Structure 1
């Protein structure tokens, strides 16, 4: 569960620049095995906006999210984040863009079991320029402490509960204070009280990061304010107020 930020010991993570990054999607399609998984004609978000992506299981919500992250290649169309067309980036250039601009909260955690909670949360430091590594590790420690894992920094991920593993994933996504945060069912492994505290934290990021969250959690949908419903890989109408 979320705990109060520490008053000493470790420096707080640096404050993110205001604004986040604008999102523009045009004619996006994702196909696999001859089947169209996602079809999104258009989507625009202003910098610092928050959006909940909802819909039934298997509707294509996570596929859309991973396409927005550049983790799944688009079959057609374009995605622009902050004026940069990520659908035109390849290989190392796309990976570098993700490192600089994006934090991702995975539903299945994506942790290394034999690594400590802190090493997992600070994993991005291994790929960052040397001058950024200490700040990134401090940011990871800050978020682990804030998420109630300050006493488990050295504990192996294998020994953590499902909810604790999810909190490590969240700390990793926020460690570098990215302008873009994408979340796949971020509250799914948390009890209600912990989920509500996380929702308050995510809602508090509005205006400083652009946040897109796939979720079935009605409380998170309500706090994010805007909703895009996906059915059979396509929008069921336009953006709506939650």
Structure 2
């Protein structure tokens, strides 16, 4: 199931009242490829987290399909994310006591029992495609690039309707990054996943249908907004 996105009057203030994000409107069709660029501190990651319902102070409307995300309580938002959103965090968010496969298949814990084995199989395949074959090896011994690949495999194995990625190629060498970009684009096209990716990687941004430019928490440009 694909999910359209409609954002209206999305704002976020710091605890001291400083405006961190101000987005009057943003629409995205299902299965869109959207890149977000801007200098460090521009509000890119803040926007991504707001779209995921991870920021309690966010105001306004973030509607994925029929679900008004910001109207849900924290538990409701967490359930919605578990069912509908795969996330690639810049700091990986891995469990140090688990191996690569157990980390990559973590979302199976939140799925019906009948779906768990298939998700674990997809996680193993994603790890292998990204060049990680030591499935049981603890992630404490992994390099930054290897940890990034585990986090990517976890998000892609879930095959959620929405994939939100924060600098997904940042810790990868060029060849691995290019393979990942191909995989992400293929996932969107075949599974009709909506991808929104924060990135400084020109190669990734060049493959997007639209590229948003964020500065000072505001949308400065929306290139390719009419693309399907």
Same fold per superposition (TM over 0.5)? yes
Given that 1:74 and 1:87 are in contact with CA atoms closer than 8 Å, whether structure 2 keeps it comes out as no
* Aligned partner of 1:182 among 164, 179, 185: 164
Aligned to 1:91: 74
* Aligned partner of 1:241 among 205, 224, 227: 224
TM-score for the superposition, normalised by structure 1: 0.88
* Aligned partner of 2:127 among 144, 151, 157: 144
CA distance in 2 between counterparts of 1:119 and 1:203 reads 25
Please list, as runs of the form range in 1=range in 2, the aligned pairs for 1:91-130 lying within 5 A after superposition.
91-130=74-113
Show CA shifts across 1:60-118 (max 9, x none): 10010001011112532100012211111113221111111010001111111221000
Deviation of the 1:241 alpha carbon = 2.9
* Aligned partner of 2:43 among 60, 64, 81: 60
Given that 2:122 and 2:157 are in contact with CA atoms closer than 8 Å, whether structure 1 keeps it comes out as yes
Residues 1:49 and 1:74: Cα distance change in structure 2 (over 3 Å): farther
| SS at structure 2 position matched to 1:38 | strand
CA distance in 1 between counterparts of 2:208 and 2:196 reads 9
CA distance in 1 between counterparts of 2:145 and 2:193 reads 24
Please list, as runs of the form range in 1=range in 2, the aligned pairs for 1:227-238 lying within 5 A after superposition.
227-237=211-221
CA distance in 2 between counterparts of 1:111 and 1:235 reads 31
CA distance in 1 between counterparts of 2:109 and 2:184 reads 26
CA distance in 2 between counterparts of 1:210 and 1:197 reads 19
CA distance in 1 between counterparts of 2:142 and 2:170 reads 16
Please list, as runs of the form range in 1=range in 2, the aligned pairs for 1:1-242 lying within 5 A after superposition.
20-33=2-15, 34-149=17-132, 151-207=133-189, 208-237=192-221, 239-241=222-224
Deviation of the 1:159 alpha carbon = 0.8
Q: Structure 2 regions of 5+ residues with no counterpart?
A: none
Given that 1:53 and 1:215 are in contact with CA atoms closer than 8 Å, whether structure 2 keeps it comes out as yes
| SS at structure 1 position matched to 2:158 | coil
TM-score for the superposition, normalised by structure 2: 0.93
CA distance in 1 between counterparts of 2:206 and 2:57 reads 30
Q: How many residues align?
A: 222
